[in-house]
Structure 1
Amino acid sequence: MPYLDINGQQYEAKANFKFERKANEHYKDPNQEYSGLEKIYQDLMSYKISALSAFWDCATAHYKKKQPTVEAIEDALADIIEGDDVEVEKLFQDAFQTIDNSGFFKLQLREFWKNVNMIDKMAKDDDEKEQALAAKEMFLEKREELNPTK
């Protein structure tokens, strides 16, 4: 599991019940069917910086009284991102792999990937099928990029 140094304290990321609860409470888009977890997961695949903040906010939810604030998380991430020695891609890989390899979300993510693999079969015409195949290929490439062991 990855760690993030926030104000001199090491925080371990955990993808568990508390992660999912916080993701649904704070990051779920009410206009979408997918969960807060899936939103963060997809945003990590899109390399959205806000996804790193959301990930760490949820991944530190198991620290009951000592959970860092979103502002403290963002400050810690900004220090890393602005540094010369650390690659931003590693932050995304660590966050994505924490979710992707989590036993807690194994079945949920299996369903997510089944749906991705079926996206082209649900297309109504050739144009939709072409777009669906491109989206499917993009999802699969991003997963391979962020978690080569899967």
Structure 2
Amino acid sequence: MEEVSSLAEKLKLHLPWHQARIIFLSQFILSLILSRSTNLYRVAEEFQTSAQVESSYRRIKRFFHGYSYCYEQLGKLILHWLPLDRYLLCLDRTNWKYGTKNINYLVVSIAWQGVSVPIAWTCLDKHGGNSSSAERIELMQRVSFLIKHYRIYRPF
């Protein structure tokens, strides 16, 4: 629980959220790392709490379903924690099905130590398929509010 408190203190400096939300996010981030999975049930299994796994799982789902948060604040927080002078950006689209529903995201992330850390994303209102130029431009404009152009690494 000490790790959760320590992370919560650091998050509180950057996110103007209620303390309960900050503690939940700390718990979620640490559990995400421990589970090495994005499967929310597996993440819930790693929660450092006396609550049952099912309760933690429902809590995670409620957080993402019923709470709106500023993606720009989260992006700025991630950039603050990444120890880089310049950023190599990755643009990717992912699509999967949840039952009969298509889930389609366009994501901008930063390549860092062999992983891709998402900093901005948008849900595409499509049944799969490619993103349009307008959708990619809109997402990159959001990224431009997070990262100054001279800090973006251009390998060419």
More helix by share: 1
What is the TM-score normalised by the length of structure 1?
Answer: 0.27
Higher relative contact order (CA 8 A, sep 6+): 1
